[in-house]
Amino acid sequence: MKKFSKMQIFAWILSIVPLLLVAALYARLPDKVPMQWGFDGAVRYDPKWHLWIVAALPLLFAVQFPLIPKLDPKKRNYDKFRSSYDLFQVLMMLFLLVMTGLTLVESLRPGTLNVAMVVCLGCGLLFTVLGNMMPKFRCNWFFGLRTPWTISSEAVWRRTQRVGGRMLFASGLIAIVGAFVPNDVARLVLVCGPVLVSTLAAAVLSYLWYQQEQHET
């Protein structure tokens, strides 16, 4: 890959914001902070020093992202979707920043936010953006819908990313709607179900398209 882009530098800047927020607010935090929320509203509390681990995750990912193309046997393809790859990094940093901010807000002012709704809404938005990006991904071992058949055929890869991206986009829209459903079970089904079905369907289609390609050659 070429030199670092402005988008990638922006992702690095975002990656340290959670650590700065935790450092700034750490003295004000209670000894136990909420770290995990169930769809039923149950909350698990952990010692507040665990927040340092959560806040460090974006930085860990930011360090790994430039290394991934160097490890990928199809490293040359990354230059073909560099802008999408860099945008993916920014999206991940923003998502992790929101999750850290959510924990801090609920630690200082419990009950301020509907955590399940915010998380589901965030996941839905992430799915829609990723679904829109996927057709731009070129064949690689780390990003996109990867199966033995997509990795083995550029044509099957392109077809799978295009169709799978549309299904993921639709799944994200359903998840966004599901975020506002008051029933916990229904929300879980609407957020997770379509993504699982879409992923499985895309994997099956990639196999069928690969078999079709082999029969035609």
User: In the listed set 87, 112, 137, which residue is the last one of a domain according to the structure?
Assistant: 112
Same domain, 132 and 93: no
Same domain, 5 and 25: yes
Q: Supply the mean pLDDT for the chain.
A: 91
| Weakest mean pLDDT among 179-183, 198-202, 205-209 | 179-183
Same domain, 107 and 212: no
Q: Tell me how far apart the alpha carbons of residues 95 and 93 are, in angstroms, rounded to a whole number.
A: 5
Same domain, 183 and 88: no
Same domain, 128 and 167: yes
Same domain, 90 and 34: yes
Q: Domain limits at 96? A: 1-112
User: In the listed set 112, 128, 163, which residue is the last one of a domain according to the structure?
Assistant: 112
* Res. 182: pLDDT tops 90: no
Query: Residues 51-63: what's their mean pLDDT?
Result: 93
- Check residue 148 and give its pLDDT: 95
Same domain, 71 and 130: no
Query: Residues 154-174: what's their mean pLDDT?
Result: 96
Instruction: Give the count of domains, the chain.
Output: 2
Query: Residues 54-63: what's their mean pLDDT?
Result: 93
Same domain, 105 and 125: no
| Structural contact between residues 160 and 150, judged by C-beta atoms closer than 8 angstroms | yes
Same domain, 93 and 126: no
- Specify the higher pLDDT residue, 215 or 199: 199
Question: Three-state DSSP class for 142?
Answer: coil
Same domain, 2 and 90: yes
Same domain, 121 and 103: no
Same domain, 157 and 201: yes
User: In the listed set 112, 144, 173, which residue is the last one of a domain according to the structure?
Assistant: 112
- What's the pTM value of the predicted model, to 2 decimals? 0.87
| Structural contact between residues 175 and 118, judged by C-beta atoms closer than 8 angstroms | no
Q: Tell me how far apart the alpha carbons of residues 151 and 155 are, in angstroms, rounded to a whole number.
A: 10
* Res. 40: pLDDT tops 80: no
Q: Tell me how far apart the alpha carbons of residues 91 and 79 are, in angstroms, rounded to a whole number.
A: 19
* Res. 80: pLDDT tops 70: yes
Q: Residue 43 CA to chain centroid, in angstroms? A: 23
Q: Tell me how far apart the alpha carbons of residues 118 and 125 are, in angstroms, rounded to a whole number.
A: 11
Q: Tell me how far apart the alpha carbons of residues 164 and 47 are, in angstroms, rounded to a whole number.
A: 40
Q: Tell me how far apart the alpha carbons of residues 80 and 103 are, in angstroms, rounded to a whole number.
A: 37
* Res. 41: pLDDT tops 80: no
- Check residue 60 and give its pLDDT: 94
Question: Three-state DSSP class for 47?
Answer: strand
Q: Tell me how far apart the alpha carbons of residues 159 and 147 are, in angstroms, rounded to a whole number.
A: 13
